[in-house]
Structure 1
Amino acid sequence: MTYPHQMLSAEPHDRLGEHRNDQGWLDTRWADPTSRVLVVSGTRVRPVEGALPWVATDEAPDGVRVLLGERDGTTSWAVIVGPEAAASQEGEWYPLRGLLPALAGGTRADAPLVFHALGLAEWHWATRHCPRCGGALASRAAGHELRCTECGKTQFPRTDPAVIMLISTGEPGTDEERCLLGRSPQWPPGRFSTLAGFCEPGESLEDAVRREVAEEAGIVVGEVAYFGNQPWPLPQSLMLGFLGRAVSTDIQVDAREIEDARWFTRAEMRDQAEAGTLVLPGGISISRSLIEHWYGGELPGQW
């Protein structure tokens, strides 16, 4: 079975990491008329008629040049310019979250490239000074390294592991089995999702699942099994999906990150989703995949 979250990573590109420090090779590929460029202003992109605006290299502005890689014989790049570029041009520029509808549609094959580009753009935007001495940073390795001009220390892009989990209780596959969903205080009425949180230093992923569920909903989790993952550079996460089995069922929400959490049977989930009183995550998220995997099929409605 292909799950919804896999749509956005189904066609990965060759990242050509072995060429990032070969300036002659980079110059040759940049001069190739078939190469294409995604212009990123700060951390935003401007779609044109719902599609991503890839341009030829001779049409790209000056900026930080980032080699994304190659797919189907075409070399793709990003050029990162300051956020003022978006303010000075017509049209609306969107961060990654605003581009997800376009990526889930006709430009889905470009999703890994866009995730790559905006993940690096976010890192360049957030990493302004050397954490060791405070010196200025210079881009190296086709945008994939930042080297301090004072002490020479090199910085590399970050990826923060985050766990996202569907917790269930009751006899698996029966009408009595239930799964746990929660909601943030900031969400509109009826919106629920799987629980999630970041892995802490020195912590295994399985223990992160158990800790987060205990902290947010007061549920003790025993067995934990890996489900899958999804790159989620919002701004720099890798969502690692898990299935867990609860050994307690008394919910006690933390009232900060989670304002409500509930157990749902499959029948309750289906009936409430059909009625619109339960609104589940979007179809491209790993949260949706976890829910539909447990449910055993597609469900109506989404954010």
Structure 2
Amino acid sequence: MAALPAQTFTGSPLCRLSDVASRFRATSRPDAEVSLVVVAGREVVVRAPAGVVGGGGQLELQALLLRQDDPELRLGEGDTEEQISLEWVAEDGAPPRALPLYLLGQDACARWTFALDVSAARDAFLAFLRHACELEVAMKDVRLLLPGLSLDAAAIAGQAVALSQWHQTHGFCQRCGAATLPVEAGTRRRCVGPSPHKLYPRTDPVVIALVESPDGARALLGRSAKSTPGMYTCLSGFIDQCEGIEEAVRREIMEEARIAVSDVAILGTQPWPTSCELMIGCVARATSYEVLLNASEMEDVQWYDRAELAAAVQAYDSHLPLQEIQRRTWKDLGFFVPPPFAIAHHLMRAWALSPRPAGESFFARQAMLPTLLPDAAPTGGATGGGGSANGAAAAAAVAGSSEDAAAAGPGPTGVRAAL
């Protein structure tokens, strides 16, 4: 099965080996340059020339370069020798403030790169950058910046957002309840209990699958109530404990569309930092066209043929703004799909544009790996705890219109019925 191309948020140029924190301690010098990526929640600081942010065009991360002994932005120690913070003097004359730093890695120039979390002083720090540092910057949600960020910049920004959010949500030990502190230059946390536990950043695995019809002619897409109006995407959900990827695909599709699938193939993966998930992109083959909508999981599911899906993904090949592409596609086709920075888009593109005769299955010419389990669909009792994550990898898509989505016709003998 052909692999998908490199996905957004992958391909970071930073060295992230496990000993990166100890190497920083051993080799860092007072005159060494440090690169800071400024974040606050899901937002990152970017350079903001007039008319760029929000108006299309290529963007760059505003990495702040300083030396460790810089008098305005000084790296300092935290409560332990393994903590690092940044001290700065705000324009309001308040005492120096310390903001947490989390090591991301080392670049090709041997420069150390950190995430600087300014959530506690977002507006004041932005004012400092604009006035004291004379930088033309803006702070924007990383998802809304994706159309204009390079792959390298998106990967670094995504890591910075994911790591800082992890620190914000893990202030207490999940094992003993004691408070935790950043250690190892912010790459880990450790609790202050009598028997300290170390915490490591985690990623939740999510399966996302394009479901092919039995005859290979159509693909099943859906939308939840939380989806962007007009957008249809691949079905998805979290992997349960002690569950294989293929099992999770079969269970999620059964839960959301009450349809069984046989073959499952993994095509690629994509990290999604704003919710700390790893999207595992798959293609699955349905055993029938009959769909019974699970209204508690999905608002709608529909079969689309290759021509419709090809038109929807190729609409993004134009240089029009994202909103305009989606508005036009919705008007012309009655739906639109996630943009190219979501793995769902590439699953659809691979299926719709792969060279094969009309009606031939996507699986027909692929050598399938042997499976450890029979291809029989899971029984109705397999509900698990994998709540729907449908649309997680397309959360950054901007709605093309506020109109109700036009209903596309169901596939052959398709059934749409709420449970």
TM interval, shorter chain, is 0.7 to 0.9
- Contact 2:211 2:219 survives alignment (8 Å): yes
What code does the residue aligned with 2:20 have? H
Residues 146-185 of structure 1: matches in 2 within 5 Å? 146-151=189-194, 152-172=196-216, 177-185=217-225
Measure the CA separation in 1 of the matches of 2:9 and 2:212: 27
Measured against aligned partners, the alpha-carbon deviations of 1:72-91 in whole angstroms (never above 9, x if no partner) come to: 22424224334232133357
Measure the CA separation in 2 of the matches of 1:178 and 1:24: 56
- Per mean C-alpha deviation after superposition, the further-off stretch among 184-193 and 8-17 is 8-17
Measure the CA separation in 1 of the matches of 2:222 and 2:286: 15
Shift of 1:267: 2.4
Structure 1 pair 118–185 and aligned structure 2 pair: CA distance change class (3 A): same
Task: Tell me what 1:113 maps to.
Answer: 156
Measured against aligned partners, the alpha-carbon deviations of 1:252-288 in whole angstroms (never above 9, x if no partner) come to: 2221331100111112334677514221101111100
- Contact 1:180 1:194 survives alignment (8 Å): yes
Shift of 1:235: 1.6
Task: Tell me what 1:78 maps to.
Answer: 114
Shift of 1:124: 0.3
- Contact 1:8 1:112 survives alignment (8 Å): yes
What code does the residue aligned with 2:37 have? L
Measure the CA separation in 1 of the matches of 2:108 and 2:116: 24
Structure 1 pair 46–21 and aligned structure 2 pair: CA distance change class (3 A): same
- Contact 2:117 2:164 survives alignment (8 Å): no
Structure 1 pair 11–20 and aligned structure 2 pair: CA distance change class (3 A): closer
Partner of 2:139, secondary structure, is coil
Shift of 1:8: 4.0
Task: Tell me what 1:51 maps to.
Answer: 60
RMSD: 2.6
TM-score, with structure 1 as normaliser: 0.86
Shift of 1:26: 5.6
Which is helix-richer, 1 or 2? Answer: 1
Task: Tell me what 1:224 maps to.
Answer: 264
Measure the CA separation in 1 of the matches of 2:298 and 2:237: 12
Partner of 1:21, secondary structure, is helix
- Per mean C-alpha deviation after superposition, the further-off stretch among 136-145 and 280-289 is 136-145
Aligned length: 291
Q: Which has the larger radius of gyration?
A: 2
Task: Tell me what 1:215 maps to.
Answer: 255
Structure 1 pair 19–31 and aligned structure 2 pair: CA distance change class (3 A): farther
Q: What is the percentage of aligned positions where both structures have the same residue?
A: 31
Partner of 1:67, secondary structure, is strand
Shift of 1:296: 0.8
Residues 244-263 of structure 1: matches in 2 within 5 Å? 244-263=284-303
Task: Tell me what 2:40 maps to.
Answer: 41
What code does the residue aligned with 1:117 have? A
Residues 56-135 of structure 1: matches in 2 within 5 Å? 56-57=65-66, 58=70, 59=73, 61-62=86-87, 63-88=99-124, 89-90=126-127, 93-103=139-149, 107-135=150-178
- Contact 1:181 1:192 survives alignment (8 Å): yes
Structure 1 pair 43–189 and aligned structure 2 pair: CA distance change class (3 A): closer
Q: Which runs of 5+ in 2 are unaligned?
A: 49-58, 75-85, 88-98, 128-136, 316-328, 355-396, 399-419
Shift of 1:240: 0.5
Measure the CA separation in 2 of the matches of 1:209 and 1:47: 37
Shift of 1:138: 1.4
Task: Tell me what 2:345 maps to.
Answer: 288
TM-score, with structure 2 as normaliser: 0.63
Partner of 1:9, secondary structure, is coil
Shift of 1:115: 1.8
Counterpart pick for 1:237 among 250, 273, 277: 277
Partner of 1:158, secondary structure, is coil
What code does the residue aligned with 2:139 have? W
Measure the CA separation in 2 of the matches of 1:218 and 1:279: 24
Measure the CA separation in 2 of the matches of 1:21 and 1:72: 18
Structure 1 pair 17–188 and aligned structure 2 pair: CA distance change class (3 A): closer
Partner of 1:20, secondary structure, is helix
Structure 1 pair 144–138 and aligned structure 2 pair: CA distance change class (3 A): same
